[in-house]
Amino acid sequence: MYDEKVIAEAVKKAVEQMQAAESGDDNDIKIGISARHVHLSREDLDTLFGKGFELTKKKTLMGREFASDQLVTLVGPSLRAIEGVRVLGPVRKNTQVEISRTDTFVLKVSPPVRPSGDIKGSEKLVLVGPKGSVYLKEGVIIANRHIHLTPEYAQKNGIKDGDYVDVLVESIKPTKFFDVQVRVRDDFNVEMHIDTDDANACGLKNGEKVKIIKK
């Protein structure tokens, strides 16, 4: 006959292992892959979609951020274009376009790698919407790799807003990302954002996990 105590211990251990696998290690971070997208100022939204136009929500992303139903076209100096680029809301103080390095080969532009919001002296581009166009004198960047954290997660793991950490990727193409910027805000989810180029390079998919390595 089976020992009930042994069976109970085995079941308990199996449940603990399953829960640990589902929750992941304290340093495990979910991946969110960011495709090319646009953030618009109120003025540029009016120009592209009409005076007083309001973005309509397609999908909530994080906190106040959402993917809208609205799309624009990006046009580079060589007149080569990328159509159907998603506008994210809500409106911002300044318009910002985030693209990948691969996109730059299509548009023939050379944007810098920058944190979101750091657009001074960045690349220019033309945005085309259903009601008009905007010549963007600056605002086109390749977003740096960054991690969004809740204050609770950051405090528990000894990480502060503005810190830089390394990230280990244990995927089919293992690699390590260096100097990943940390952003902490109370309406964030715990998530690392990378662009499609980085995701493809190391075989990552949305929702997969990577591990923070503190410096």
Residue-level pLDDT at 72: 98
Distance CA 46, CA 135 (A): 14
Q: Which of 40, 36, 56 lies closest to 132 in space, CA to CA?
A: 40
Using CA atoms, how far residue 19 sits from 8, 27, 33, in Å, is: 17, 16, 26
Mean pLDDT of the chain, nearest integer: 90
More confident residue, 172 or 68: 68
The string of pLDDT tens digits covering residues 147-175 is: 999 999 999 999 999 999 999 999 999 99
- The predicted-structure confidence for 75-109, as pLDDT tens digits, reads as follows 999 999 999 999 999 999 999 999 999 999 999 99
Query: Is pLDDT above 90 for 215?
Result: no
